[in-house]
Structure 1
Amino acid sequence: MLPIKRPITALLIALLLSSCSVLKSTPQPPPAPKAQAVEINRAQSGSLPRIGSASVTVRGSPDDAIRALAARANQAGARYYQILLVNETVAPGLWYASAIFYGASEGNNSGALGTPR
């Protein structure tokens, strides 16, 4: 039985180590800010200041939960938001979602739209 354990152990270690690269992402610049908050991914959030977070629970569909988060981001004055989770609760048709809100980075001219810094 010992000879079978070694290949399985080696395979499990190889899979574990290769899965670590899935979590590492190459930094990317965020898109230009717009009048409404823009959804970004994790790789685009590295240079942005975090200004808050929010969670919503809405009845409807996953799209309704995403729209509710976008509205919350706009209310908070965020330029960008990153959705962390969209999940149906134990009640059918009731969706839970959460996001992180980001402001504009100091490096790009993205203060108030239309006004120079």
Structure 2
Amino acid sequence: MVSRKRNSVIYRFASLLLVLMLSACSALQGTPQPAPPVTDHPQEIRRDQTQGLQRIGSVSTMVRGSPDDALAEIRAKAVAAKADYYVVVMVDETIVTGQW
């Protein structure tokens, strides 16, 4: 009797855990959205806005300062490449403090 109750609790807990994990995956993915209208300068867009756009390349940068300095350098590279849009995948600090 105790074994059946324990198995029932474990089964329900495992089912709940599976449902929560699957719903978390769908929450992170998001539904595709259209990109904003093209302007005279490159615009930063989210990953879910890239559907239907052509990738022209990738860039990386390493600067001292703040994360905003790294984003400004990426924006400048997008301007130099004459891109309409750009997506920032990750901004991460290196081992050296203040280096992005």
Say if 2:43 is the partner of 1:41. Answer: no
Give 4+ residue runs of structure 1 displaced > 6 Å after superposition: none
CA distances 1:20-70 after superposition (whole Å, capped 9, x unpaired): 212332222211222221111112110111101101111101111111110
Unaligned runs of 5+ in 2: 1-5
CA distance in 2, matches of 1:29, 1:49: 13
Task: Quote how far apart the aligned CAs of 1:84 are.
Answer: 0.3
Which of 81, 89, 110 is 2:86 aligned to? 81
The size of the alignment, in residue pairs, is 95
CA distance in 2, matches of 1:29, 1:13: 32
Code of the aligned partner of 1:9: A
* TM-score after normalising by structure 2: 0.84
SS of equivalent residue, structure 1 residue 91: coil
Which of 18, 27, 30 is 2:32 aligned to? 27
Code of the aligned partner of 2:75: A
Task: Quote how far apart the aligned CAs of 1:14 are.
Answer: 1.3
CA distance in 2, matches of 1:91, 1:6: 48
CA distance in 2, matches of 1:93, 1:3: 53
Which of 39, 50, 56 is 1:51 aligned to? 56
Residue of structure 2 in register with 1:12 after alignment: 17
RMSD of equivalent CA atoms = 1.5
* TM-score after normalising by structure 1: 0.73
SS of equivalent residue, structure 2 residue 60: strand
Which one has a bigger Cα radius of gyration?
A: 2
CA distance in 1, matches of 2:66, 2:8: 51
CA distance in 2, matches of 1:53, 1:23: 23
- The percentage of counterpart residues that share the same residue type is 44
